[in-house]
Amino acid sequence: MAFKTQKFELVELVVPGVAGGQTNTRWAFPDLPKLRYVSLQAISFYTPGTITTTPLGNPLFAISVLKTGFLTLYANERQDIYRTPVLELNRIQNSATDPFARGLFEFTGQKVTWDKSYVEFGAAPANTANTSLLFGVFYA
């Protein structure tokens, strides 16, 4: 059976640029009022091979940086979805070098507390300009 969704939201997590290069390794999602108390169905992730510029006009991180990225979701009052590699969520095959999974990363209706959820990198991304991470959130 094919995946069916009721609603979709594109979520942009901006990693601010810092003169001399960003040294932090963890960024929390902002409060996402539209996604409060919804039942999570699936999440996808977008690479620069698929989308070159975000709605806010930021570039996406290079694949070499994304290979060190992990998503942690605080769901159902617990940190149950811990350190999922962000590239595990990329389902679009757009080049021979971009890792991808064929299907959506599906959930069972968890309620995510977005402002307690975050993305972390194994090494600081060293970006000097604002750079973003894009997630597609499917929910009911």
pLDDT digits (tens, 9 = 90+) for 92-135: 777 666 766 677 888 899 999 999 999 999 999 999 999 999 99
22 by Cβ neighbours in 10 Å (0-12 / 13-18 / 19+) ranks as: buried
The pLDDT tens digits of the residues spanning 59-68 come to 999 999 999 9
Task: Report the pLDDT value the prediction gives residue 91, as an integer from 0 to 100.
Answer: 79
Q: Classify strands 7-15 and 69-75 as parallel, antiparallel or unpaired.
A: unpaired
In the chain, beta strands by DSSP E: 7-15, 26-28, 40-46, 69-75, 78-85, 105-106, 118-121, 131-139
pLDDT at 100: 65
pLDDT of 69 higher than 90: yes
Helical residues (DSSP H) of the chain, grouped into ranges? 63-66
* Per-residue pLDDT tens over the stretch 3-30: 788 899 999 999 999 998 899 999 999 9
Q: According to the model, what pLDDT value does residue 96 have?
A: 63
What pTM was computed for the model?
Answer: 0.89
